[in-house]
Amino acid sequence: MFKKLFGSSEPKEEKLLPWIALNTVAQLNDIEEKSKTKTQLIFKHSTRCGISRMVMNQFVADYDVDLNADLYYLDLLSYREVSNETGYKFQVLHESPQLLVIKNGVVVAHVSHGGINDMDLTRFL
């Protein structure tokens, strides 16, 4: 009972995702081009937001590392210009946290907040 309430003292193995850092505007053209042959995912994250952190932790826990998609991580506070250009290029209003699914050069789905973890990404592969 105490383990359920207070957690275990045993260290928890951290799951590592195949994140690709998105930190230049030029990468957006590469993402657009790559999306013609492989689904591209962009996770926009605010490092100062508790909700964004909670959503990202759940996303990491649930993410299937065997998905045939490239997974980009955008720290939108450190790379504000890249975040702004992402919205312009892919015609999506900024939200945080936010997940964009890009295929054939366009966003085919985007969700924010709790909707991120409800999305079935296998539909877009």
37 in a structural domain: yes
The reported pLDDT for the residue numbered 15 is 81
The predicted model gives 82-97 an average pLDDT of 95
104 within domain boundaries: yes
Q: What is the CATH number of the domain that holds 53?
A: 3.40.30.10
Note the pLDDT of residue 5.
Answer: 47
3-state SS, 21-74, equals ECCCCHHHHHHHHHCCCCEEEEEEECCCCHHHHHHHHHHHHHCCCCCCEEEEEE
Round the average pLDDT of the chain to a whole number and report it.
91
pLDDT, tens digit, 9 for 90 and up, residues 27-75: 999 999 999 999 999 999 999 999 999 999 999 999 999 999 999 999 9
Is 77 among the domain residues?
Answer: yes
Does residue 46 form part of some domain?
A: yes
d(CA 119, CA 115): 6
SS3 category, 8: coil
3-state class of 89 per DSSP? helix
For residue range 50-60, list pLDDT tens digits in order.
999 999 999 99
When divided into structural domains, the chain yields a total of 1
Query: Per the confidence metrics, is the pTM higher than 0.85?
Result: yes
